[in-house]
Amino acid sequence: MNNDSIHNGLSDEKMIEKEFGELLSDYKSTKHRKRIEIITKAFNFANQAHKGVKRQSGEPYIMHPLAVAKIVCNEIGLGSTSICSALLHDVVEDTDYTVEDIENIFGPKIAQIVDGLTKISGGIFGDKASAQAENFKKLLLTMSSDIRVILIKIADRLHNMRTLGSLAPNKQLKIAGETLYIYAPLANRLGLHKIKTELENLSFKYEHPEEYATIESKLVATAAEHDDFFREFTAPIRVELDKMGIKYYILARIKSIYSIWNKMQTKHVPFDEIYDLLAVRIIFEPRNIQEELNDCFDIYVAISKIYRSHPDRLRDWVSHPKANGYQALHVTLMAPNGQWTEVQIRSERMNDVAEQGFAAHWKYKEGGGSEDEGELDKWLRTIKEILDDPQPDAIDFLDTIKLNLFASEIFVFTPKGDIKTMPQNSTVLDFAFSPHTDIGSHCIGAKVNHKLVPLSHKLESGDQVEVLTSKSQRVQVQWLSFVTTAKARSKILAILKREQRGFQKRGEILLNEFLLKEDIRPEAVDYDKLLKLHKLKTREELLAAIGGKMIVLGEADRNVLKEKQTSNWKKYLSFSFRTGNKEEQDPKKEERLVEDAPKEKINPKQVLTITDETIQKNYIIATCCNPIPGDDVLGYLDDNGKVTIHKRQCPVAVKLKSSFGNRIIATRWDTHKTLSFLVNLSLKGIDSLGLLNEVTQVISRQLNVNIRRVNIETNDGIFEGQLQLYVHDVDDLKQLISKLLKIPNLKAVTRTED
C-alpha cells in the first residue's frame, strides 16, 4: 500500500468520525430519550458493512447513511429508532446481511423499518412502468404499517438531491423529474414543508440551471428592498404585540425560486410582476395551551386595526387544520405602499408541525405513547382502499394517487352537522363516495345548502351536503370526467370493469347464438368485419357493446358476415396494386425500410448534441411542446431507437421522466441559425389606431421574421392577438419580445404552446 492510500484512508476515517460526532451531538440536543448506545452500535455495524465502498462522488459510502440520519434527526425530528434505521437503510440491499440479521442484533422494530426501506429501494421507479407501480404500491403499503419508512425515504431522497452533481446528466434529469413528480408532493402531504420546498428548488436547479440562476440573482438584487419593506411593515405590529405582553418573534418568508418560476409560467408574467415574493410570519408563545387559539385571533384583531385586511383572504387553518396537520391563521393586509402582504400567525407548536409535519407528533410516539387516529391515518386508509382495486395501468395508478397528493382541502358539513375534509374542487359525487361505495354508486344528486344540485356540482368550504340515492341508479362512464378524488375514481373504474366483464360474457353468448342461427361458422375474420362495421377497435369493446345492448345484431351484420369470399384474381390484383406503386402503404414493408436504414447509435449515458443536420434526420421534435434551440430540453428514446425532443417542463416529459427514467437522454443544442422553428405568441394591450401595423412592422421589417398566422380580436378597448411565426432560436424570440414590448400600447407578450 502506498503512502497516498494510507493518507486517504486516514482522512476518510477522520471525516467519518467527525460526521458521526456531529450526529450524536445533534441527537443529544433533542427532547428524545438519549439512547446513545444503540445509535453507536448501528453506526459501527453500518460502517463495517459498507467498508471500502465509495459513492459516485468519491467519498466513503457510509457518509450517505450518516447524512440521511442527520436529516432524520435535525430536519424531520425523529428519534433513535429512526436514526438507527437510517444508518442501516442500505445494509440489506448492498451487503450480504439479511433482515433476520438486523432483527437479531437490533430488534423487530428497526428490522421492520429497514425491510420496508429495502423493498422500495432504488427509487420508486423501476425500468418498466409496471415495476414502478408495484414499487409505489409497496411504498404506500409500508407507509401504513410504519410512517417512519416513508419519512426516512424522503430524507434519503433529499440527500441524493443535495449530492446530485456527481451523477451523469441523464441520471440527474431522471432523478430530478421523479423527485418533482412524487417526492415533493409526498413531503408536502406529510407536512414537511421545508423539505418539499428544497426538493422542488433542487429539481428545478438541475432541470433549468440558467433560469434558476437568473431568478436567484434577481432575488439577491432585490434583497435590500425587501429588508427595508419588512422593517417598515412590521414596526407598528411589534409595538402592538409588545403592548399585549405576548412573547413572539417575526420572520420574513421569501417565496422559493421554484414557486416564483412556477407562477411566472402559469400566470405568464415576468419576475417584476410577482408581487407576493415576501410574506410575514408571526410565531408566538401562547399564554397557556387552552388560550392558543384565542391568542391567534387576538393577534389577528390587533394587526387588522393597523392595516386593512382583505375580506376574501382570511384562511383559518387554526380551527380546521389541513389534512397534513398544518395549523395557522393566514391574513392578507394592505401595506402602506399599496401592496397586499400575507401574514401567517402561528404558535411555536404550530410552527413545529408546519416545519416537521407529522414527525412533530410522531416523536412523542417514540417512547411508546399512543395518540388518537389523526387525519394521516384516514389518508392512509384511503390509500389502502385504492390499493384494493389497483389500476392495470401503472401511470393511471400514479395519477390516481397524485390526485390526493396535490389537493388542498375544503370543509363541508353532513346533514347532521359533522365536518368532513375533502380535496379542493371535489364534486357531489366525490362526497357521495367518501363514506361508502354503495352511496356513491347509487347517487342521483344532492341537496347543497337545501338546494337541489347535479352530481357534477363543485363543493365549496362551508357547504352542507345531503346525498340523494336511488336503487335503480348505475355507475356511468361519464362520471370519470368530473370526479376529482382518488377514492371515487378508483371505485368507479373498479365497478365499470366488473360490469364490462359481465357485458362481455353476455355479448359472447348473444354473438354465438346469432352466428348459430344464421348458420355462420365463427372465424377470427368475422370479428374484424364486425369491428369495421361498428367502427370499434377491439374484440372486447364489441362484445361489451353487444352485451350492453348498445349494438343489436341484425341484417347489416348478417350481410357483412355472409359476403362471398373475394375471388383469387381480385386478391392477386389487390396484392399487385399494394406492392406495385404503393409500397409505402404496406406497414410491414415500412418496418423493414426503417430497420434497413442506418441508425445513429444512441448512448443514453452521454449528452446528445442536437445540430442543424441531426434535427431533420435523426430526431423528432415533440408537437406537444414545440421546443426550439435554446430551450431546456431532454430526449426520450423509444422502442424503435428514435429520439423525441421535449421541453423539460412539458407535462408529457414530466410523465416520461418519472415513468421511463432509464430512457431519458440529456441533450444540448448546437445550432447555427440555419433552420427556422414555429412558435406561438400571445399579445395583449390597449387597442389603438395602427397598433396591428406597428406589430407587423417590428416582426417583418425590423427583425425579418416570417409570420405564418395572425388572429386579432378587440373587445371593449382591449386588444388581444395570437401570432404564429418562425424564429431560429430562443435568442431570436427574446429579442423579438423585447422589441414588441417597446410598442407603447402593447402591455404583454408571452410565448404559448398553441
Which of these is catalytic: 13, 93, 232, 518? Answer: 93
Question: What's the CA gap between 465 and 450, in Å, rounded?
Answer: 8
Active-site position among 12, 26, 59, 94: 94
Q: C-alpha distances in angstroms, 725 versus 36, 678, 752? A: 67, 6, 12
| Alpha carbons 156 and 162: distance in angstroms, whole number | 10
C-alpha cell at 354: 408546519
Whole-number Å distance between alpha carbons of 678 and 681: 10
Return the bridge partners of 679, or none.
725
Task: Dig out the grid coordinates for 259 from the structure.
Answer: 414557486
- 654: nearest Cα among 65, 281, 180: 180
Calpha distance 443→365 (Å, rounded): 41
What is the rounded distance in angstroms from the CA atom of residue 286 to the CA atom of residue 292? 5
Buried b or exposed e, range 123-150, using 16+ CB within 10 angstroms: bbbbeebeebbbbbbebbbbbbebbbbb
Q: Which residue shows C-alpha cell 429495502? A: 118
Residue 109: how many CB atoms within 10 A of its CB?
A: 14
Side by side, the strands of the sheet bearing 677-686 are: 707-715, 718-727, 677-686, 746-752
Q: Taken in order 643, 666, 63, 360, is the CA torsion positive or negative?
A: negative
β-sheet bridge partners, residue 645: 621, 635
Cell numbers for 403, please give them: 390526485
The SS3 call for residue 570 is helix
Q: How far apart are CA 347 and CA 337, in angstroms?
A: 28
The size of the chain, in residues, is 754
Q: Which three cell numbers stand for residue 271?
A: 419576475
Residue type at position 313: R
Query: ∠ CA(649), CA(655), CA(660), 5° rounding?
Result: 120
**Among all chains, which residue has been given the C-alpha cell 414545440?**
626
Element (H, E) at 252: strand 247-254
> Does 352 participate in catalysis according to the annotation?
no
Q: Give CA separation, 43 vs 11, 71, 76, in Å.
A: 18, 15, 19
Q: Residue 388 catalytic?
A: no
Helix axes 148-162, 169-178, angle to 10 degrees: 140
CA 470 to chain centre: 37
- In single-letter form, the type of residue at position 155 comes to A
- In Å, what is the CA distance from 318 to each residue of 208, 374, 433? 37, 15, 27
**Cα–Cα nearest to 82, from 98, 106, 54:** 106
- Positions marked catalytic: 93-94
